[in-house]
Every structure is written in structure tokens, then in C-alpha cells.
Structure 1
Amino acid sequence: MPGSGYTYVCEFDALKEGAPQRFEVEGLPVCLVLTGQRVFAIHDVCSHSAVSLSEGEVDGLTVECWLHGSRFDLRTGQPLDRPATRPVPVYPVEVEDGGVYAHVVPRTGQ
């Protein structure tokens, strides 16, 4: 079991490469993304238009908001394109015994 503060989110096998998925973790909307066999967790609300990032497209280590096209770095939450100018929170993730766990205390960078 991961360290203190981590919450079980889903089984690793439930994630599909490059397909963002929305989950509620400790009452927060979280978008999980499996890309390059790594799992990332990012707040599932675009900082520009308050729409779900899990409905967007994944390209490498970025997720693109479907509404206005802002891209966010999955590692840091930093916006890479306008119109978004504010980052979104990202959360630490651990995969253990086939389960995916997230710690919903925001962090920046890796």
C-alpha cells in the first residue's frame, strides 16, 4: 500500500494509453492519463474555461482542453498555450499491486 495520504483510484488495467479518464478522488475531479506507461493525475478542470480536461486529447506529456485548445503539461500543470495562463494542480501518483493511487495535495513539477 502506498504512503499516507494516498487514495485508491482504479486498477491500472482500467486505463488506456493516451485516453484521459475522469475520477472523483476525495471529492475532487481528477483526470488520470496513462502515457508512455506512466500514470499522471491532473485536476480535471481547465483553468481558463472550467471544462473537463478528461474530454480533451493527449499528446505525449500534454493534455489539450477540448474547448479552446489550451495544452497543459501533465508533469507540472503549466499551460503551454493560450488562452490559459494559470496552471492547474497536478497530484502525485503511485502504482502498486495493480492499483493506481493518488495523493490529492497539489504539487508543482517533478
Structure 2
Amino acid sequence: MSDIWTFVCTTAELLPGEMKVAFDDITGTPIAVFNLDGMLYALEDQCTHEDFELSAGHFDAGSGEVECVLHGAKFDVRDGKALCAPAYEPVAKFPVKVENGQVLVRDDR
């Protein structure tokens, strides 16, 4: 596991209801960071049903769900849980922190 955090954006660039994607500096894993009512959550930017970017889909800030545009699988951004078929496996969740106005993430697997 790496102790190196990856810069995503500044807090001013990730407003409530928005998402940003970064690539972990060590593993190259794509990580989507979601701002849900001021709380930040980070998931692997990959649907567990098919290898497709979740960030290409719709982030519903009202329900806290992201929908894969490919086949309609939905995931809870708070914990990565799969909410409907065709996905049954959760998406990997990663730590996210704010330091000096910067949003940082890391692949902690």
C-alpha cells in the first residue's frame, strides 16, 4: 500500500453535485471523486459489470448515485455498493482528504 496521495483538484474546483477524475500516481488507477453535499467520496472510475468509466455516466447528487452510461448499473458513491443489475459487485472505495485547499486521493489496496 502506498502512502503517496494524488492531487485531484482544488476544493473550489469540486463543488457540491460535481465529480472529478484523477489517476493514482503509483498504480495509475482512475479514481472518481464526488462532492455530495460537501462530503467527498472516491471510487474507482470503473463499472464492475463492464470495464467502462463511471465518470462518463450521470452523478445524481440528490440520491448519491452514479449510473454507468453503458448498461445502467448504479452505485452508491458513499460506499461503492452496487444498487441494481447488471452490476452485483461493489466498486472499490478509496480514501479522500482535503489538505490546504487541495483534494487528494490514493489507491490504498
Say whether 1:32 aligns with 2:33: yes
Q: Which amino acid aligns with 1:74?
A: V
Greater displacement, 62-71 / 9-18: 9-18
Q: Which amino acid aligns with 2:14?
A: L
Q: Which amino acid aligns with 1:66?
A: V
Listed as ranges, the gaps of 5+ residues in structure 1 are: none
Question: Match for residue 48 of structure 2?
Answer: 47
Distance in 1 between the 2:68 and 2:18 partners? Answer: 13
Distance in 2 between the 1:6 and 1:89 partners? Answer: 17
The total of aligned residue pairs comes to 103
User: Which TM-score applies when normalising by structure 2?
Assistant: 0.84
- Cα distance per residue 1:51-71 (max 9 Å; x no partner): 110111112321111111111
State the SS of the aligned residue for 2:12: helix
State the SS of the aligned residue for 1:54: helix
Tell me, yes or no, if the aligned pair for 1:20 and 1:55 is still in contact at 8 Å: no
Question: Match for residue 8 of structure 1?
Answer: 7
Distance in 2 between the 1:40 and 1:81 partners? Answer: 20
- What value does the CA root-mean-square deviation take over the aligned residues? 1.5
State the SS of the aligned residue for 1:67: coil
Question: Match for residue 88 of structure 2?
Answer: 85
Listed as ranges, the gaps of 5+ residues in structure 2 are: none
State the SS of the aligned residue for 1:32: strand
| % same residue | 35
Question: Match for residue 64 of structure 2?
Answer: 61
